[in-house]
């Protein structure tokens, strides 16, 4: 844009994509949650992985508790990343469990949300 004297006003647009990317605000990198989501989608049709995520209470879980099943599913995700020699493959398993829960909430597949759903509607949990 120019003013009435013909001088350029403001900062000109970057000339190349490289220049544009260099002035981007914020991070331009994949987070652990993003990577776990990618692997979650890849493993979704694996029957073992899905069976580990199906239980909505301890009695329905493969290993007898939601926590144990989350541990096993997170381990499958981490193993997948280790096979790819990805930098996140060295992260602690607990980090993968937390990321898995974030991803499950993104897709409305968390154990709690499914447990509280009746006829497609989320109902309030009974007061204890």
Q: Residues of the chain with pLDDT > 90: what percent?
A: 66
Predicted pLDDT of residue 107: 93
Predicted pLDDT of residue 37: 96
Full-model pTM: 0.76
Segment 28-46, tens digit of pLDDT: 678 999 999 999 999 999 9
Q: What is the mean pLDDT of the chain?
A: 89
Q: Nearest CA to 100 among 91, 92, 110? A: 110
Other residues' Cβ atoms within 10 Å of the Cβ of residue 36? 27
Distances (CA, A) of 52 to 43, 61, 71, 125: 11, 7, 9, 23
Q: Nearest CA to 36 among 64, 76, 4, 63? A: 76
Segment 68-111, tens digit of pLDDT: 999 999 999 999 999 999 999 999 999 999 999 999 999 999 99
Cβ 50 vs Cβ 71: under 8 Å: no
Question: What average pLDDT does the segment 21-29 reach?
Answer: 76
pLDDT at 18 over 90: no
Cβ 22 vs Cβ 91: under 8 Å: no
pLDDT band of residue 123 (cuts 50, 70, 90) is confident
Domain ranges of the chain: 32-112
Q: Angle at CA 79, nearest 5°, toward 73 and 81? A: 110
Question: What average pLDDT does the segment 49-56 reach?
Answer: 96
């Amino acid at each position: 844009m120019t003013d009435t004297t013909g001088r350029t006003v403001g900062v000109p647009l970057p000339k190349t994509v490289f220049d544009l990317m260099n002035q981007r605000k914020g991070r331009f990198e994949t987070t652990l949650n993003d990577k776990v989501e990618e692997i979650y989608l890849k493993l979704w049709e694996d029957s073992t992985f899905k069976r580990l995520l199906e239980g909505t209470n301890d009695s329905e879980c493969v290993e007898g508790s939601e926590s144990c099943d989350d541990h096993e599913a997170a381990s499958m995700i981490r193993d997948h990343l280790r096979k790819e020699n990805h930098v996140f493959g060295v992260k602690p398993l607990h980090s993968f469990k937390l990321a898995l829960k974030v991803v499950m909430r993104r897709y409305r597949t968390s154990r709690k949300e499914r447990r509280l759903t009746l006829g497609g509607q989320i109902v309030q949990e009974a007061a204890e």
